[in-house]
Structures are given as structure tokens and as C-alpha cells.
Amino acid sequence: MDKLKIAIGSDHGGLRYKNSITEYLKSENIEFVDVGTYTTESCDYPLIAKNVAEKVASGVANRGILICGTGIGMSIAANKVQGIRAALCGDTYSARATRAHNDSNILCLGERVIGENLALDIVDIWLKTDFEGGRHTRRIDMIE
């Protein structure tokens, strides 16, 4: 795995998984910046998504991870930022494919729809999978 710096954030609906994922990142010696939230008090996910997406788009972080109740709101909001390819994943195959074929730079997860161990497996695979390039580069260029 190349030297990574992850921007990570969640709303109140994803806080527990965010905390588990930051523990995983620490155990793997992966640098990260946690942009919040830090409590279960209701907060606005678009602000968290924008913060993480801007850190990735500007190069402050290589990639980002966003967690909310379903992951849907976070992915919609993050994809509004130019240069972001946020992918909502609920299985390990999609996590691998979105890195290998789509060069996704933000992973979105839903705490209320997948189990915690699956979420950690998805994160592990997504972080360790490289972009394949080749024919996929042309398609990424079309998106941009």
C-alpha cells in the first residue's frame, strides 16, 4: 500500500463506524485527519462530506472515507466537489472494483445497512486496491 493520508468524517448516524475505522487506520499506521463529527448529536452530513471532499480534491489527503446512516447522502454531497469520485460500497467486490476500475478517491459507507466487520473488510480492500489504469483511464477522463 502506497503512503496514504485519509480524510475521514461521519455524521451522527456513522459515528460508531468512524471510530472503528480510525482504530483500524491507527493499527495499519495509516495517517488520517478526522473532520468529525465527534458526538451522537444530530449534525448536517453535507458539511462533513464537503470538508472531506475538499481535503481530497486539494491534495491535503490522498483519499477519504465518509460514513452516515446509509452512505447515500454522503456520496451525493461529496460528488458535488470537482475531482471527487465518491463510491458507496456495501460489499467487498464493489470496493475492489471501484478502486481498480473507477479510481474512486472517497469511500462511502452506511452504518445502518451493513455490519461493522463487513465495513472494516470493505475499508481494508478499498485501501489496498490500486487503480488498474489502461482502458479505465479513458473512462475516468470522460467523467472529469
| Catalytic residue numbers, as ranges | 68, 101
The Cα angle at residue 81 between residues 51 and 42, in degrees rounded to 5:
40
Indicate the burial class of 135 (C-beta count within 10 angstroms; 0-12, 13-18, 19 or more).
exposed
CB atoms within 10 A of CB 143: 8
User: Cis omega (within 30 of 0) on the bond before 37?
Assistant: yes
What is the Cα–Cα distance from 114 to 122, expressed in whole angstroms?
Answer: 10
